[in-house]
Structure 1
Amino acid sequence: MNIIAMIPARYAASRFPGKLMQDLAGKPVILRTYEAAIATELFDDVYVVTDSALIYDTITTHGGKAMMSVEEHECGSDRIAEAVANMDIDIVVNVQGDEPFTDKESLASLIQVFQKDKGREIDLASLMTQITETEDIHSPNTVKVIVDQQNFALYFSRSVIPYPRAKDKTPTYYKHKGVYAFRKQAVIDFKHLPILPLEAAEKIEAIRYLEYGKKIKMVETQVTGIEIDTPEDLEKAKAAWK
């Protein structure tokens, strides 16, 4: 099974433009993330795929592998689909460029989903982590996921799901971490499928897979990491790096 990692890297992030080129302990965030993916030793290859010549040059001048996107893309899955279209691969893992603390254990658990899927019934796998903080549960910036008894995703939302109408019950809440592992065909299909109303309303790309009947296996992880979405997150990352 040929398994690669792709790190989609868009320069103009809406909440923190240029965040991937911010300094983290002497190196840009995107380079730290690339090195973390390499260090896992899980992949046959690791690439950064980007719309930015600055990010491309940063990776390649440090001996890494990078690709420039040809088309404009709305999301990371589309960017990856273009990049892998002509590659002879089986599985591609989407590593988020703003997560320099990417850990081996979580990524290995995603790969194992496909190694165990002898019937090739699973289209993609993704990570979730339990959340208990009220602020996170209610925040629209925290994407929540609900799953069935086999941990297949039922729905993703920025709203509170499940809604705690029964006051004597305490539901478990899971945050969806935007780390995916795809079968190649699943991500290729994604790029060519039109956006439907639920994805358009929530602005969550994982919903498109569900709307078209793809099966998403969720894997729980205890590793929360630090996603660098704001300048405050960057300061947390710098402190954690020390």
Structure 2
Amino acid sequence: FSVITMTSSLKVIEIEAPNLSNFQFMGLRQVQLSLGVALQFKKFDMSFPGVVSYACTNLLSNLQYVEALSLCSRREIIDTPVLPSKFLHLKHLSVDLNAMTFSPTYDYCSLISLFDASPSLETLVLNVLQRKMLHESIVGDTSNLRQMPGHRHDRLKTVKIIGFSSAKSVVELTCHIIENTASLQCLTLDTTTGHPWHSCLTNYSGKCLVLHVDFLVEVGKGLLAIKTYVEPKVPSRVKLNVVEPCRRCHDLEPLS
């Protein structure tokens, strides 16, 4: 197992250890990774700005045997590219795009290429939390949802989206997953921050963490988007869990 935390002078990481199965890297900027061709990672975690597009473009051939992949990025300059090959053994995928604000030009539907490159995927956790959502909202939008071509998943059972909002491409991505996953059993859409200790039910103060009024307004829009666009597409066999802020601690005005 290898854990590397970035220093300011670190520019290149070379790994030639053939028995290394777990790798974790956390940094504030991108570095060049040189990975031996004989490496057979089972668990691979990376965190730095732009890591999603970097991993898809530069590391695919080195992660052929990975079973659990975690990518964390606070900023993606470009959409997720189409992958030339596949993560054939990937079962558990976590993509964390949690940020104060995420570029409004980023298309969350571009992540479909990453999902489609993972035919053995069983669990998916996606964090799209934005403290201030700048993407185009589907609320008040009269245009139709995009129909995205994609792979039919027959192993993906559990999907969780944290920070679910009314961002149109988030809603389109969610609907795409529902429509293209025959094996789906449980879908959780969390409109909160996703942190358990922010809730009055789990922290010691007995009160929820105070959320900004703009965030609560977006929560209301997200809940309306779920009711309008997502719920009608959820098959009866799928358990839909919708997580919202505690109404005892927060004033959520219903939107219609």
* TM-score bracket for the superposition, by shorter chain length: under 0.3
The higher-RCO structure (CA 8 Å, 6+ apart) is 1
- Report which of the two has the higher share of helix: 1
Structure showing greater radius of gyration is: 2
TM-score (norm: length of structure 1): 0.24
TM-score (norm: length of structure 2): 0.23
